[in-house]
Amino acid sequence: MPQIIKGATSPSGARVTDDRVRETVAGVISDIRARGDEAVRAYSEKFDNWSPASFRLTKDEIRSIVAGVPETTLDDIRTVQRNVREFARAQRESIGDFEVETMPGVFLGQRNIPVSAAGAYVPGGRYPLVASAHMTIVTAKVAGVARTVACTPPIRGEIPSATVAAMSLAGADEIYLLGGVQAVAAMAVGTETIGRVDLLAGPGNAYVAEAKRQLFGEVGIDLFAGPTEILVVADEYADPFVVAVDLLSQAEHGPDSPAVLVTTSEQVAQKALEHIDTLLPTMSTQDYAGPAWRDHGQVIVVADLDEAYTVADGFASEHVQILTRQPREALERMSQYGALFLGEGTCVSYGDKVIGTNHTLPTRGAARYTGGLWVGKYLKTVTYQEVVNTGSSAELGELCGRAARVEFFEGHARSGDVRAAKYAGADLPWAPEVYRAGSA
């Protein structure tokens, strides 16, 4: 049985949405439906103290903002976006259209069509997540989305220049300095000045997450977001200092972010705990990382790697980092994760910020049934059918008639009957006389 060295003191991944959050979000969405831009402006003033003449940045304003960003920052943004773009392109190339002939003259096909418009929400606040611009906008443009709308809030009344630069360099067609539920709702339902989108992507606080939940169905969304998660699988060869640093790197996302170590070595576990106790007080983000580790951190010692992989799969964690002598073994042994990070040379922070894979990943156990945001999320996989052989149509018609009547769908059956009659002379006992005996 696994040995719990440190357990969580609070349940992680709680699905309960605060009634106040739910009601506030519902009210904002309803008001924006009714009053459009007027409501958007009112909520922006209320929540962000922000009410410019236009929330949308002009091309000249964008150029001016980008020009004020340090060149090193711009170069870094371009490099990261190149990495994201190259991986997204590889994903897009892996998705093919096809057509097959399943019977003589029966052609079935598949096409992958990008959504017409996508909305990207890039959070601000304490953590202006510049990288979210790369993950949402670059990926959408690689998928072929014609219109990509990007929203980000002002930060304490200031324009987040690096975020705007990232949005622009990523290829956003429209950029709005607008945050919170009002931004998400405006993109989803449309206003007088903000055209509605077909799909929303990007992280946010509890209010933004709840807005996406309430709007899902009216628009598509990337994922139902929860607290960031990390799980480290380590054997006796792992460096406990690296283990500690990497666990805390994700705990700083928020006070409810689970960080879990599953290891075959009690020595690694104890040393990692000692390092965490030393490192936490030195972190500028200890007000988030401290409660996250205290309440949601876990350390579990298991007998061997077989048990480690089983325990790790049970968590279905967003990020799983493999710090073992043979890390690629996890590719064959594990199946429940948002993303794997293999070996000491790889860390979750690379995935969050720079390496090129998408950092929008499933949380709260959703890795059991879905992966993360990828280029395919912006595509609609649709099918088409064509039957040009009359004999095949007649055969399908007879089959359709029998299959539909088993389900008591008489109208469906008759559509098949008509083809069987017209192309093969089958009788139509339910039709007027003139159409019977193949005379249709």
pLDDT band at 12 (very low <50, low <70, confident <90, very high): low
SS3 per residue for 354-397: CCCCCCCCCCCCHHHCCCCCCHHHHEEEEEEEEECCHHHHHHHH
CA distance 184 to 202: 10
In the predicted model, is pLDDT for residue 440 greater than 90? no
Q: Give the per-residue pLDDT at 17.
A: 64
Percent of the chain clearing pLDDT 70 (strictly above): 98
* Interval 216-255: pLDDT, tens: 999 999 999 899 999 999 999 999 999 999 999 999 999 9
pLDDT band at 25 (very low <50, low <70, confident <90, very high): very high
Contact predicate 333/311, CB 8 Å: no
Per-residue pLDDT averaged across 341-365, rounded? 97
CA distance 184 to 148: 13
Taking each helix axis from N to C terminus, what angle separates 161-170 and 59-67, rounded to the nearest 10 degrees? 120
Contact predicate 356/90, CB 8 Å: no
Residues in the chain: 440
pLDDT band at 434 (very low <50, low <70, confident <90, very high): confident
* Interval 410-426: pLDDT, tens: 999 999 999 999 999 99
Comparing CA positions, the residue from 284, 186, 300, 185 lying closest to residue 243 is 300
The token pair that represents 166 in the structure block: 């990232």
Beta partners for 114? Answer: 379
Buried b / exposed e along 399-425 (16+ C-beta atoms within 10 A): ebbeebeeeeeeeebbebbbbbbbbee
Query: Would you please indicate which residues are annotated as catalytic (active-site) residues?
Result: 318-319
Q: What is the pTM of this model?
A: 0.93
Contact predicate 258/296, CB 8 Å: yes
Per-residue pLDDT averaged across 290-297, rounded? 97
- Average per-residue pLDDT in the chain? 96
Per-residue pLDDT averaged across 140-165, rounded? 97
Buried b / exposed e along 212-221 (16+ C-beta atoms within 10 A): bebbeeebbb
In the predicted model, is pLDDT for residue 128 greater than 90? no
pLDDT band at 386 (very low <50, low <70, confident <90, very high): very high
